[in-house]
Amino acid sequence: MEDNCLLGYTPDKLQQLVCELGQKPFRAKQLQEWIWKHRATDFEQMTNLPPALREQLVAHYTLRPLQVVEVSASSTGGTRKFLSRMRDGHLVESVIIPAAVGQGGAHSDRITLCVSSQVGCAFGCKFCASGLLGLTRNLTTAEIIGQILAAEEISGTRVDNLVFMGMGEPLANMDNLLPALTIIMDEHSLNIGARHITISTSGNVPGLKRLAAFGRPLRLAVSLHGACDEVRNQIMPVNKKWPLGELIPALQEWTRTSKHKITLEYILIQDVNAMLPEVDKLARIAHLLNAKVNLIPYNTVEGLPWVRPTEAACRFFCKTLIAKGVPVTMRYEKGHDINAACGQLRLRREEQNAQQKH
């Protein structure tokens, strides 16, 4: 996928581009201001750049990699999900979560954005809508960033927290993720601090090592969903490639240099991983990693056989885990009515498209 959208250019790459176009280095700074400070959507707005440079930019580069085609609001909680169409027609989704919903506090203008990193996902977790359709392609750096700008335009506020928990496995798209993170954290670009960014992975061990070597104090969430290989093998094919015996040491390595506790994500699915013997195993892993656990009652996906346990069963699992000394949060999906679990909005769209074609 050719990437000529300047939203995906790190400060160094912008500098290089300006030089290649035969311009003085200070033009890069001006370009950067137009892109990030003024949020220019058109090169013609960049009135302090020489006309010849503007012409070259118009001819070969773009400023927006995607277009928002649908915004759906949850009737409760204020989350909003939007669907973006990229230049080649593929769709990705992102979710805007107001801080008051995300953190249970008083009303504020702060928002958390959940972004996608790929179109679909190759990892094929058995419970996940994103995995159902397989991987179409990686998102470019600009397409990752484009979701943040779109969210700020929709909400009228700045994104304060970013979570890579939309469609796709971010650590399977490192070549585009790392420059995106550089731009997101750069003080003259999006200026979102590393501690406000959470990367979620289903357990991609080589990706984890590369992210650790990147050396920034990012937060890490791990989609564990099973506390033994038997359960993980049943629902997450990735575990056959990198079983717990490899994943846990890689996470221990991560904790040695990280300032933040890892979050272990654990979807509760009836008769799969929500039985009481699993609590002990989960507590053991959490203690080993000094991690916190986020329990998520399964969000039903049409066409998949998995069932959300009763609320009482979820609460009991949670209480038992807390009693073992593990820091636990349990989040009932606020956006349940807009299919807030990853991949579901796009899946619905793809189904509608398929029906229209028949």
Q: By CB under 6 A, name the binding residues for ligand SAH.
A: 127-128, 165, 169, 200-202, 223, 225, 265, 267, 296, 298-299, 301, 341-342
143 binds, among ligand SF4, ligand SAH, none (CB under 5 to 8 A by kind): none
Q: How far is the CB of 131 from ligand SF4 (least distance, A)?
A: 3
Name the active-site residue from 5, 93, 114, 169: 93
CB of 109 to ligand SAH, least distance (A): 25
What token pair was written down for 161?
Answer: 């927290």
| Beta-carbon-side half-sphere exposure of residue 68 (alpha carbons within 13 Å) | 18
- Give the C-alpha distances (Å, rounded to integers) separating 217 from 63, 214, 246: 29, 9, 22
Site pattern 190..219 for ligand SF4 (x: CB under 6 A): ------------x-----------------
Site for ligand SF4 contains 123 (CB under 6 A)? yes
In the chain, beta strands by DSSP E: 66-73, 80-86, 91-98, 111-114, 118-120, 135-138, 159-164, 197-201, 219-223, 263-268, 292-297, 328-330
Q: Which of 5, 125, 128, 342 is catalytic?
A: 342
What's the residue count for the chain? 358
Spatial distance between the Cα atoms of 27 and 334, rounded to a whole number of angstroms:
45
Instruction: Indicate left, alpha or beta for 201 from its phi (over 0: left) and psi (-120 to 50: alpha).
Output: beta
By CB under 6 A, residue 43 contacts ligand SF4: no
Q: How far is the CB of 165 from ligand SF4 (least distance, A)?
A: 8
Query: Binding partner of residue 165 among ligand SAH, ligand SF4, none, CB under 5 to 8 Å per kind?
Result: ligand SAH
Nearer to ligand SF4, 128 or 283 (CB): 128
Q: Strand order of the sheet with strand 91-98?
A: 66-73, 80-86, 91-98, 111-114, 159-164, 197-201, 219-223, 263-268, 292-297, 328-330
Is 152 among the catalytic positions? no
> Is the four-CA dihedral 309, 313, 315, 317 of positive or negative sign?
negative
309 counts as binding ligand SF4 under rule CB under 6 A:
no
Residue among 84, 94, 130, 344 that touches ligand SF4 (CB under 6 A) = 130
Residue 114 bears catalytic tag: no
Closer by beta carbon to ligand SAH, 38 or else 331: 331
- Active-site positions read 93, 342
User: What residues line the site for ligand SF4 (CB under 6 A)?
Assistant: 121, 123-125, 128, 130-131, 168-169, 202, 223, 342
